[in-house]
Structures are given as C-alpha cells and as structure tokens.
Amino acid sequence: MLSDRRACILQSVVREYIDSATPVGSGTIVRKYGLKASPATIRSEMVRLEEEGYLTQPYTSAGRIPSDRGYRHYVESLMEEEELSDESKRTIRHQFYQVGPALEAWAELAAAILARSVENLALVTAPHPAHARLRRLELVKAGDVLALLIVVLQEGHPREDTLALDRSVSQDELTRTAQRLTWLFTGLSAGQMQQQTVELSPFEDKVTQATIRVLQVEDESSYEPAYLDGLRNVLSQPEFSQPQTMLDFLDVLDERSLPRLIPFHWVVPGDVTVIIGAENPEDAMRHCSLVVARYGRPGGMTGALGVLGPTRLPYQRATSMVRYMGSLLGELVNLYYS
C-alpha cells in the first residue's frame, strides 16, 4: 500500500503525463497540483515510487513517467471515472434511436462516437448471437456441377459458400432442396442441426453438412470483423512518431485482425476491463492499453467494444465512455432482439 502522499504524487504524475506526454518533474507537481511539500521532498518520494516500480525515468535528469504498474494502481485505486453529462447522454441516445434496429450501423456509430470522445482508436463489433442460427437456405446454379449456397442467418446476414456437385443439378431441384432444408432446420444452430434425426437424400445431406460448416465458422468469428474509427487519433500521438513504431502498429490492424488479438474472453459481461501494456497476451499489443467491454444478453445477442491507444491512455474518460456505450448498446439489443 502507498502512503497518502505517494499516492497523491503518483496520481498527479499519471494525470500530468496523460495530458502532456512529457516526463513529469517535482516542480510541476508542486506548481500545478498544490501538494503541500517542497520540490526536494516530492523528488525524494518520486525516487521511492521508482524503486517500488510505479514510476520510471526515461533518461538521466529527466522527470518520471508512469510504469505499467503505476497505471494499474492508478486505475484500480486512485481513478474516479468521469461522469457524462445528461446532455451528452441524450445526444448519444438520439443518434442511436435515429438509426433504428440496424446492427452494423450501431457498431459503426458507436466506434465513431468513442473515437471522437476519447481521441484514440475505437473498435466495436456488431451484436452477434452466441450460436448462429439458420433463417433460410438458398441454392443458385453456378455451373454444370457447381452451386452457390447462401445461408441466411437469423439476423438476416447472408453467408456464402460454393458447393462442388457430384452430378448436374437443375435450378428447380436446387430450389426444392433449399426449401425443404429451410423447413427442416430453420431457427436451429449448427449443433442442433447435427442432432436432428431426419431422412435426407445424399444431395440433401451434402448441402446440410455445408450449411453446418458455415454456421460453425460464424460461431468462431463472433468478434470479427470490428468497425474501427480514430486511427488518425492514435497515429498522431507522440508514441507513434517513429516510422517503425507506426508501421508495427499498422501491422496489428492489417486486415482487421485486431479482434483476434484482444482477449475478449477475459471480459466479464456488464463490466469494463482495462488491460495495460505488458498485461496484453500478444507481443504486438504490449505497448498499448485497452479499455474493453462486452454488451448484450448472455447466451443471446452479444458484441464487444473498446478503446485502444498507447499506455498513456485517458483512462478516466475511456472507462466512462466504454461503460456508457456498452450499457446503451445492451439496451438496444434487448429492445429490438429480445
């Protein structure tokens, strides 16, 4: 446990460094944060905080900056979340209710609002069921022994696959097969389809197995793709001023692979999780911090959202915005998709 004075100093260093992006000296702490102690006393306490792993000194004679441990202590013990004003909440809610029940539009709008508010990168996935369920099948002749399988999910999203056929099949037969399998399996998940005991022709079984694979792939990609916004915000931060650092970060975002790098399974539904620096399980993310949450109905429609930036992230604002946006998106899911 830190003494009250060292806790106040650590809190001041974190706040100042988040705002300024420059190492913080004892004189700045005394002048701007009104601690009742001399610069020499503050300097001595900052040395103690460095020895205990809460602060680091980037180079000799510089001020101090927070370490990952310092940020963690700040987030867990010293930080007070910013409270959004009622006016801000009304404005945000109005934007979403204008959109209506459009899942992708929710995610895109949420990412834009988060990025603008926190001035870092925001990512939001559209709500997704715990298990993809079939609404209907369509089969379209694409060649003499080739057919296009269109699997329409319960939420209306189409997924496609190509089927190589053992024989030439007419469009009429394809249509009848799709209609029968839709009647048999509509509303079912991949697991439920596998448990059904119905008599199928070899061709129907082939289409059924292909449909099950499509649903399984959908289940495995439940947090992909993400809607990203605010890349310019992140790349304008001093931490990314070096070309190689910038390129490394862009590699993380390549082909929207970012959701695979974020441990959404760590996140407790209904809560906000903060992941700082080296706490990230992926090497590519260990110079970044994340504030993430899942939203929706456990066992039903769920999605994820978060803010990503350097460890010098405005944690107060990010946490309050992610919490509010998660709550609002969860409310919309329950309203339109319960």
Spell out the long-range contacts of 257-263 with Cβ–Cβ below 8 A and sequence spacing 24 or more.
258/123, 258/226, 258/228, 258/308, 259/123, 259/125, 259/223, 259/224, 259/225, 259/226, 259/304, 260/224, 261/285, 262/123, 262/223, 262/290, 262/292, 262/304, 262/306
Nearest to 230 by CA among 139, 153, 321, 159: 321
pLDDT score, position 176: 96
Arithmetic mean of pLDDT, 282-286: 81
Residue 266 phi/psi, 5-degree rounding, is: -75, -20
Q: pTM here?
A: 0.79
* pLDDT tens-digit readout, 33-78: 888 888 899 999 999 999 999 999 988 777 999 999 999 999 999 9
Show the tokens assigned to 152. Answer: 């329409």
Domains of the chain and CATH, by start: 4-78 (1.10.10.10), 86-129+223-337 (3.30.450.40), 134-220 (3.30.390)
User: What is the DSSP track for 180-245?
Assistant: HHHHHHTT-BHHHHHH------HHHHHHHHHHHHHHHHHHHTTT-S-EEE-HHHHHTSGGG-SHHH
* pLDDT tens-digit readout, 185-237: 999 999 999 999 899 999 999 999 999 999 988 877 656 667 899 999 988 99
